[in-house]
Amino acid sequence: MKVVYRNWEPKKNLEELQAKVYNENNPRSQPVTAQQIVERYEREKIDPKTVKYALDEEGNILAYIQARDYETVEETHLGYPWALTNCPQEVQDKLFDEMLDYIKKRELAKKYAIRMNASVDDKNIVDFFKGKGLVEKTRGYRYEIDVNEVNKSEYTGKEFSTRLATPGDVDLLVDLIKADGRYVGQFGSDKDIIDYFKDRVLKDGEEKGNKAVLVFKDDTLVMASAPLVFKAPGDDEERLILRFHAFRAENEQAYKPLIHDIAKVCVSNNYGTEKPLGVFIGDRDTEFSTILEEYNPNKVVTGIGFGLDE
């Protein structure tokens, strides 16, 4: 098979091909659209060489790979080379090896660590990264805590105050999401962030009782989240999760009153109380994990972060 390799270029409809491959490989995830990819690339002003496609000689997509730079954590995340079933293994290997070689040679590599992330459930991806000589650097966990037990205790600290969100808090939440920085890439524009809170988070809170909790330090909103009973595509059972968790740096201790009030929201509205609250934490999030350990959680490994063996 003759294979043509090309980097991303704007206005070439490559995003349509990319969305097709990603969605076919990730049926349990929310489908992505070509337009979402276009908007994200425009917003992030990506290096075109950090996205590469493999096509057959007729221009049909076989596979693609992408690396993304994250300034807030000074890391470059290199993804798995997603491929269709007719893609030869050597094509995936070539995409990965050449992209890794490229990002290692960039000036940015002197400052940014290179990471590859995989779910522990994706054995093929874990084995692929291990086969490339990569080593485990970090782990991600799901802490499962009983909101009924948390609700029996009270937060007695004086540094933070809390209240439930109202429909008038959209601007506060948008500002917090921007200050956090981790979620911005999931939205195409400020309007998308506004619509997310107005039409989903805050609307659900009014209709279903799973209101968002706001944590303040003096008059500044420093942390927010909301509970959500959620069933992922392909899952057999619903889960209780934090639908988002946004915060301002240096305010990690606000997590304690947040968790207490999330539990209170669930119990007072009989919302998801028969399920443990699943909170996803990396092993570098030491302040958050220390707080969660107080509630005797069930701790489940969910992800592995790989890096270079150096």
> Which H, E and C letters describe 283-306, residue by residue?
CCCHHHHHHHHCCCCEEEEEEEEE
Report the pLDDT value the prediction gives residue 171, as an integer from 0 to 100.
95
- 302, 282 contact by CB (below 8 A): no
Domains of the chain with bracketed CATH: 3-133 (3.40.630.30), 142-301 (3.40.630.30)
Backbone φ/ψ region at 11: left (φ over 0), alpha (ψ -120 to 50), beta? left
Buried b / exposed e along 150-176 (16+ C-beta atoms within 10 A): bbeeebeeeebebeebeeebbebbbeb
Nearest alpha-carbon partner for 31 in 221, 243, 233: 233
Tokens of 186: 């999931």
Amino acid occupying residue 252 = E
- Digit-coded pLDDT (tens) for 238-259: 999 999 999 998 899 999 999 9
- 54, 91 contact by CB (below 8 A): yes
DSSP label of 6: E
Number of other residues whose CB lies within 10 A of the CB of residue 4: 12
- For residue 235, pLDDT over 80 is answered with no
* pTM beyond 0.85, yes or no: no
pLDDT > 90 in the chain, percent: 79
DSSP label of 104: H
Q: Output the CA–CA distances (angstroms, integers) from residue 177 to 228, 248, 257, in the order listed.
A: 18, 9, 19
* Predicted confidence band of residue 184 (pLDDT cuts 50, 70, 90): low
- Digit-coded pLDDT (tens) for 110-159: 999 999 999 999 999 999 999 999 999 999 999 999 999 999 988 889 99
Distance CA(191)–CA(201), nearest Å, equals 14
Gyration radius of the chain's alpha carbons = 21
